[in-house]
Amino acid sequence: MAFLCNKHLGIVKSNPCLGMKLWSGAFANGERSYQHSRWKPASAFFGAAYEISLECMYHKSTQFDPLHFSAAGQCLVNSLCQLGELPTAYDYLKEMKSKLRVMSSSIQLHPDNQRIAAKLVGHIQCQLTHVAQVKSRLSVSEESGLVNEEYLPAGINH
């Protein structure tokens, strides 16, 4: 899934400092959409913020850190779960965990940011476990023709 168009991706790559402003705008719009239960726009905005943070993370001229990446990624995952897109949400969590592991040992990041990234890996692992359990319960329920609503994240209608 790609959230940034080529034009905006080019802007972020050529001017990482502007990327911070774009990230802030995308994240704020995602929050507003999420608060109004507009899951598709929320996932698009959070997805854009996620991709911006990936592009800008290692530029010394920006103020990005693993928390920007993690916040955007986790909000994207929550939005995808609300849409019932658990496999996609799970894939993003796996990608986040992998990227955070790289960040935790990257000499390009400040040591404080390396420590933050390392701590976030454990948090993402907990989310991976939870989403995997929900996916498993849903697949078993769907095979039997029954869906137990208690296994769905809040707000998901099956």
Question: What burial letters (b/e) apply to 125-158, b meaning 16+ CB within 10 Å?
Answer: eebbeebeebeeebeebeeeeebeeebbeeebee
When pLDDT is averaged across residues 20-44 and rounded to a whole number, the result is 96
Residue 118 lies in a domain: yes
Residue 59: burial class (beta carbons within 10 Å; 0-12, 13-18, 19+): middle
Residue 51 belongs to domain with CATH number: 1.25.40
Residue 1 lies in a domain: no
Instruction: Determine the structural domain holding residue 85 and report its residue range.
Output: 6-151
Q: Which run of H or E residues covers position 148?
A: none
Residue 157: predicted pLDDT: 45
Tens digits of residue pLDDT in 80-133: 999 999 999 999 999 999 999 998 888 888 888 888 898 899 889 888 888 888
Residue 22 lies in a domain: yes
pLDDT tops 60 at residue 32: yes
In the chain, the largest separation of any two C-alpha atoms, in whole Å, equals: 54
Residue 146 lies in a domain: yes
pTM above 0.75, yes or no: yes
Instruction: Count how many domains the chain has.
Output: 1
The CA distance from 138 to 48, in Å, is: 29
Residue 77: predicted pLDDT: 95
